[in-house]
Amino acid sequence: MKIRTGLSSMAYQIKEKIKICQKLKFNHIEVGIDNLEDWDYLYHNKDEFTKNDISIGIHMPMELNTCDPITRANEFWLDYFHENYKKGKTLNVKYYNLHLGYGIENKVKKNRIDYLNNTISFLLKILNNVDDVDIYIENTYSKNGDLINLGNKVADFEYLFKNVTKYNLGFCYDTGHNLINKDNYLSRLSDNVRLVHLSDNDGNDDLHLGLSEDGLLTEKDIIDILEIKNNKYLVFEMNTEYINESFDLYKKISEK
């Protein structure tokens, strides 16, 4: 499968990121959308996406809570998703990437399956009405506290993929998040991976560092990513100053 390679971007950065794609011959940008007004940045550059054969993915905000146990709040997040989905129709958005959400620590620890079932219900309500784009769910990390994230364990995703078998649901493997909360995602979810977020960090904070020969993200880690059979998109999800050097190292490893 031919993988589309690209960058992450906030909506207001889109002109800068298109120029980087032109320089590096990248053909994909994953755009972080927070507010509906952010779409205006993409509309204003629609011709540039087409001219440069750049596909678009959308990274939904971490605040979006797919497992929210409060019914009215859950309905709000569903409406928010569908409003964004409608906005993306004219731009031929390829996927929407979501986190699983979060909850109060003691409630999640006692009722984790109930929270995951909320996410299953959320995903099915989307997937039963959306069949022209992919929906990806991303591993994250949790440092504990009053609120904790779901999706920081491979078992969460195994449960979800067992119970939601829609063809357009896939897994987003985030290397930086895995360095903070490690689990064996690639060995247990390799068939589900459709999107990879590539970055390094110090093992404690999601710093979005670039690739380096002495980084925590090793050459073996990158080789494992290169061997994923069903992946569609590789996104260098890192600060702009690291992209050139990181891409050079990635190419060097891929050509061995």
What percentage of residues in the chain have a pLDDT greater than 90?
A: 98
Mean pLDDT value of segment 29-33: 98
Average pLDDT on 229-247 reads 97
Q: Is residue 39 scored above 70 in pLDDT?
A: yes
Q: State the pLDDT at residue 105.
A: 96
Angle between helices 112-127 and 71-88 (to 10 degrees): 40
Rounded average pLDDT over 14-32: 98
pLDDT at 256: 82
Cα gap 86→74, rounded to integer Å: 19
**Closest to 119 (Cα-Cα) out of 176, 9, 111:** 111
Q: Give pLDDT, residue 92.
A: 96
Alpha helix (H) ranges present in 111-211?
112-127, 154-163, 175-180, 185-189
Give the E-state strand segments of 41-109 in sequence order: 55-59, 95-98, 102-104
Per-residue confidence band for 1, with pLDDT thresholds at 50, 70 and 90: low
What confidence tens digit (pLDDT) does each residue in 167-195 have?
Answer: 999 999 999 999 999 999 999 999 999 99
C-beta of residue 65 within 8 angstroms of C-beta of residue 77: yes
Cβ–Cβ under 8 Å, residues 177 and 140: yes
Q: Which residue bears the tokens 């903070």?
A: 180
pLDDT for position 216: 97
**CB neighbours of 106 closer than 8 A, spacing ≥ 6?**
none
Q: DSSP of 189-243, one letter per residue?
A: HGGGEEEEEE-B--SSS---B---TTSSS-HHHHHHHHT-SS--EEEE-S-GGGH
Q: What is the mean pLDDT of the chain?
A: 97
Pair of tokens at residue 125: 């309500």
Does residue 243 surpass a pLDDT of 90? yes
Q: What share of the chain in percent tops pLDDT 70?
A: 100
**8-state DSSP, 111:** -
Amino acid 204: pLDDT: 96
pLDDT, tens digit (0-9, with 9 covering 90-100), for 67-123 = 999 999 999 999 999 999 999 999 999 999 999 999 999 999 999 999 999 999 999
The residue-averaged pLDDT of 224-232 equals 96
